[in-house]
Structure 1
């Protein structure tokens, strides 16, 4: 099956499932697509008890897609740039320090808490998993997914300052989370961590994070200067597309964080002050609409892929039980990791009441966590953590996503 056939199948399924959601369910796209895809997958499994033709065809489609590469190396850059492009820069500037602490210390704290608690739970369940691998799981599940969060927030209507905190954290903490994951991954790959020096960790962090942000600033400023020097909306849209594609390639070649580079570039290009001087009204409209369409299309494909991943997972009762235990562990760890930063800033910067509870329940997990789980090796208990991650992502999107709006209204009433 060639790439064109795979893309055609995914786009066709996405269009069909999206139509069903908009026509009948009327749920936010993220939730509706996940729900429809899961139902479709269950129907396929049911039909397979009589005839396995459809099941085998769908499994063949899924197994030929390298989910990790497709999401982390391709789709994520486009979606993060689109999300950052439409972020309220002024609100994000005001909330920059809480967002920075949430995305760094919050992610690290959550990684540690989840890792330790999962280690204890897995021991109680008779699953012998080393602590370093539990920490690896903590790193991959801690970042909130900006793709899922942005899709839900559009429907919820939270206050602007709280939205800036949630969106800002989710845009940056996935880049930080990927770096933390890669660092722990390297430690886990070494012999018990022997020979892995702290200087290597700092070097990796500095290159990925700081290098990614610097690349993003250069890309954003370069894109701004090019767009300012001409007035042709067709070419200016293509310039933004070229910036994302070339920036992603450069980041990958230099081992920099392409997610952080794209978020930074998107914030620079989307800054009201810069876009006002670089784009005419018609160019601004075309750029925004183009990236909204890219965002919607890739989001649709992503959540169809997530739903279909269920076909290739190995569900065992011990794995399912571990996944059920992981849900409250992830929520408690997120709440505790947010409590310190919120307490630190709430007296200096205006915080919406119950921010800790809203951010805890509104911190959705998504495709990034699944992609990172797929990169685990067999020795790292890949199948176990894939099932746990999948269960957490589905719970996050369907349960938390469906109820976060009501929670916000009740807490802020």
Structure 2
């Protein structure tokens, strides 16, 4: 029995965590309009204050190796790659250039204002606290129902800049700990800065390659399967395997640690977009995404509650002056890069990033699990380690509680409409309608195979068809009363259809069904249609087309009367 003490204690602590989480969930459900993640953090603080002891150690390795990969993978897999591509310039500018500039600005300010901090130590703090946290951002924006484009901008930046932030932190820690000779003087030379930039490119690019190769391998296996349980296991292997291969095992082969964050994000983007579209059946897609949604919710719950429980409140009080100084400096460094870089992106690309989005991007750059994982990984010999730990936890707590709680008000103040009651109801009705259709298909299949008797089949079909009719009427009524909802839904459907059409055209070109020149013309035409859909214009049943379709033009040049087909069909129908 003595040997079972540790597992039982661990199980008891985990049970305590989820009992508190369940109580928080009930509280949030009762009062409404209160972010669940913020409530978890506050509950963790309260548990710490009243003396509830949870012996689970929220360590650097636990966060980075166990908890972070599923959150990154799920967040990336549910991100629309097409939207990410559309806003790639502002996202990359903020995630790479913005992070480097803001770390430099905060480091310079901190070296002058933080007592006892030299430039290297201030830069180290900046590299830990400035990467925005995808875990926090994804959770908060999903709860608030932020507009898709705003969510893409903030989430895309968060998913990418963590990889860059870890590289910068690792390089700076080498100088601080003495493993890199010369200190800040060596860092701020052409050679030192060049080495840092080269490390960022190699580590990030290597992580991208690892994630892409892993995603392709998983895709090739999944495309030949139709077993949702096996495919769920494959995605779990991919999420953790890509992270570990890049972050740890690549060093044995290449002598350099690659970015596990970027590897996992890349793998998630690939499987969540191309894999979901071409390698998964509808049933498998539902099973895989539901599994990852549940896993992300459980891990999120654990992280936010444990951050609250393990926050060193005594250290926060002792270093309150430092924390109070750090908070406005962090916000100022964030603002100093968001507004100028958004202006640069707006001069080059369309659509532009609206000013009101920029305000939210400054205030919505939350800092939590990544920053805490990095500060927990500081060696004991790091100068001013206790102060750094208190500052990171303090800024993270302010970020999650104050910025998190005021985000909804900020969205209202700047005129950004979150999901309305009509939109939420529309989503609910559409989701239920899909479920009913799937139930009818399953009932029909089971009846054909003899697994459902005729009388049960008749009852099921009658009930589901009645519900389908009611849902159709409710959806039609809601769409009539809210034309914008229907328009957006139609545009989303058109975009998916056009993307499928584009993929089929590319496959036909690769397989030699059509020549390269013809394929290029067809793809270019589809790109024009996709651009119109993205700008809010329909391409189906439009009264006036802005262009003549390529195939119609070539058919007319050849002498084929394709327009007359509709006239003849109508005449035959009238007859």
TM-score, structure 1 as length reference: 0.90
Aligned mate of 2:64, from 51, 57, 72: 72
Aligned to 1:402: 405
**Aligned-pair distance for 1:375?**
2.0
Asked whether 1:32 is paired with 2:24, we answer no
**Aligned-pair distance for 1:195?**
6.6
Counterpart CA distance in 1 for 2:317 and 2:25 is: 35
Counterpart CA distance in 1 for 2:134 and 2:282 is: 28
Aligned to 1:253: 249
Aligned to 2:393: 390
Aligned mate of 1:114, from 100, 106, 112: 106
Where do 1:134-213 residues align within 5 Å? 134-188=122-176, 189=178, 190-193=180-183, 197-198=191-192, 200-213=195-208
Aligned to 2:311: 310
CA contact (8 A) 1:174 1:259 kept: yes
Structure 1 residues 3, 349: CA separation in 2 closer, same or farther (over 3 Å shift)? farther
Aligned mate of 1:234, from 224, 229, 232: 229
**Aligned-pair distance for 1:312?**
7.7
SS at match of 2:366: coil
Aligned mate of 1:130, from 115, 118, 143: 118
CA displacement, residues 30-88 of structure 1 (integer Å, 9 cap, x when unaligned)? 111101111111111xxxxxxxxx6xx54xx15xx261011112211121001101112
Aligned mate of 1:20, from 23, 28, 35: 23
Counterpart CA distance in 1 for 2:181 and 2:58 is: 28
CA contact (8 A) 1:18 1:32 kept: no
CA contact (8 A) 2:28 2:35 kept: no
Unaligned runs of 5+ in 2: 251-256, 417-575
CA contact (8 A) 2:21 2:305 kept: no
TM-score, structure 2 as length reference: 0.65
CA displacement, residues 298-355 of structure 1 (integer Å, 9 cap, x when unaligned)? 11111122112224863463x2101011111111110111122100112422223322
Aligned to 2:96: 104
Structure 1 residues 70, 280: CA separation in 2 closer, same or farther (over 3 Å shift)? same
Aligned to 2:483: none
Where do 1:271-282 residues align within 5 Å? 271=273, 273-282=274-283
Q: Which has the higher contact order (CA 8 A, sep 6+)?
A: 1
Counterpart CA distance in 1 for 2:181 and 2:275 is: 50
CA contact (8 A) 2:110 2:122 kept: yes
Aligned to 1:326: 326
Aligned to 2:288: 287
Aligned mate of 2:76, from 80, 84, 101: 84
Asked whether 1:43 is paired with 2:31, we answer no
CA contact (8 A) 2:243 2:260 kept: yes
**Aligned-pair distance for 1:249?**
2.3
Aligned to 2:450: none
**Aligned-pair distance for 1:256?**
1.1
Structure 1 residues 315, 148: CA separation in 2 closer, same or farther (over 3 Å shift)? closer
Aligned to 2:368: 366
Structure 1 residues 371, 6: CA separation in 2 closer, same or farther (over 3 Å shift)? farther
Query: Matched residue pairs, number?
Result: 392
Aligned to 1:48: none
Aligned mate of 1:219, from 209, 214, 234: 214
Deviating more after overlay: 184-193 vs 281-290: 184-193
Asked whether 1:94 is paired with 2:76, we answer no
Counterpart CA distance in 1 for 2:238 and 2:412 is: 39
- Superposed CA RMSD in Å reads 2.0
Structure 1 residues 207, 5: CA separation in 2 closer, same or farther (over 3 Å shift)? farther
CA contact (8 A) 2:71 2:135 kept: yes
Counterpart CA distance in 1 for 2:241 and 2:407 is: 37
Unaligned runs of 5+ in 1: 45-53
**Aligned-pair distance for 1:158?**
2.2
CA contact (8 A) 2:132 2:162 kept: yes
SS at match of 1:104: helix
The structure having more radius of gyration, on CA atoms, is 2
**Aligned-pair distance for 1:380?**
2.7
